[in-house]
Amino acid sequence: MRTLFGRACAVVVTALVFAAGSAGAAEPVAGAEATAAPAPGADASAKRLKQDAVCTRCHDESESKPLLSIYQTRHGVTADARTPACQNCHGTSDKHVAGGKGEGNASRPAPDVVFGTRTTVNPATEALKQEETCLACHRAGKRLYWDASQHQSHDVPCSACHTVHVKSDPVLSKGTQPEVCYTCHKTQRAQTHLVSTHPIDAGLMACSSCHNPHGSVGPTLMVKNSVNDTCYTCHAEKRGPFLWEHQPVTDDCTNCHTPHGSTNTPLLKARPPWLCQECHSGDHGAQVNSGANLQNGNVTTVNGANPLANAAARAQLGGRACLNCHVLVHGSNHPAGSKFQR
């Protein structure tokens, strides 16, 4: 019995000694210097800054268009391995770096890629080359349909809208984006100042709320596949489905509405009943003025001329005209709502 007990104690002591030795081996030797592993991407970051130094030794905040603000944007995050150096966008530009007389008033040869549409010193690089430089990184997502889009087919480069060397790109903010678009789309600027318009000036929405400037499978660069689907993203109550559908509504919202602004609320192309008369003509309980039905004259209907004395009061006298009775013009789910009156 004592022999078995002694053997058991010996096994326990051996195990404890082994465990203590293993724990001690894991500890660093006293006085040895610990070498920290380099941070991920540190080498790439240092390399980019070294490349940028070739440019920033001349191009700094003293220029008319300060460039160092790019380090306050996503294009200047040195901790991100995807961050480009100056040469990734503008090319190695060996001739520009070496110096020498450039073309025209330029003090030295132009960089390999000059972004923009109107430059004061060096001529801008062709739009296709500018686009290829940007799409090398920004190809996916909303840029998927850029090729053959309206802007691309009209040689509008990315730099025509985007300003890269600034802390905040105006086209990426709801408050400032419209002014960038209005540089070309001046008619739409005027329409947004009419009495009935979307809350663009209030900064509650921007052009990109409805349009994808980089291309779309829908018409007029809509963010959705159709005009209606785009409108339904905000006006969901107009989507339906309805028991009684109004065909112009299900076809295209712009049959009746002009989206950028109108003198007729709510964004209507014309004031009722004249808007309704573009489709609806013929007999009606209350007569409406038109080219054939003039005030103080006989009323022409599908059944012939109706003497003035027998004509009902003009619908135009009823304020909102057709909408006084046909209140659910977008569709009705009432069993008796075939005339959109309930």
Mean pLDDT of 222-238: 96
Residue 111, SS3 per DSSP: coil
pLDDT of residue 147: 93
Mean pLDDT of 24-35: 45
Mean pLDDT of 224-239: 96
Mean pLDDT of 247-269: 95
* CA dihedral (153, 143, 83, 64) positive or negative: positive
Answer yes or no: is pLDDT of 7 > 80. no
Lowest-confidence region among 91-105, 124-138, 151-165, 223-237: 91-105
Instruction: Look over the chain and give the mean of its residue pLDDT values, rounded to a whole number.
Output: 82
d(CA 84, CA 24): 47
Lowest-confidence region among 92-96, 234-238, 324-328: 324-328
Of residues 201 and 284, which shows the higher confidence score? 201
Segment 56-65, tens digit of pLDDT: 988 887 877 7
| Residues whose CB is less than 8 angstroms from the CB of residue 37 and which lie 6 or more positions away in sequence, other chains included | none
β-bridge mates for residue 300, sequence order: 305
pLDDT of residue 27: 47
d(CA 116, CA 335): 60
Segment 98-154, tens digit of pLDDT: 988 777 767 789 999 999 987 667 889 999 999 999 999 999 889 999 999 999 999
Closest CA relative to residue 330, chosen from 209, 236, 231, 249: 249
Q: Exposure of 248 by Cβ count < 10 A (0-12 exposed, 13-18 middle, 19+ buried)?
A: middle
> pLDDT band at residue 341, thresholds of 50, 70 and 90?
confident
Peptide bond into 266 cis (omega under 30): yes
Answer yes or no: is pLDDT of 300 > 50. yes
Report the amino acid identity of residue 257.
Answer: H
pLDDT of residue 290: 59
pLDDT of residue 29: 42
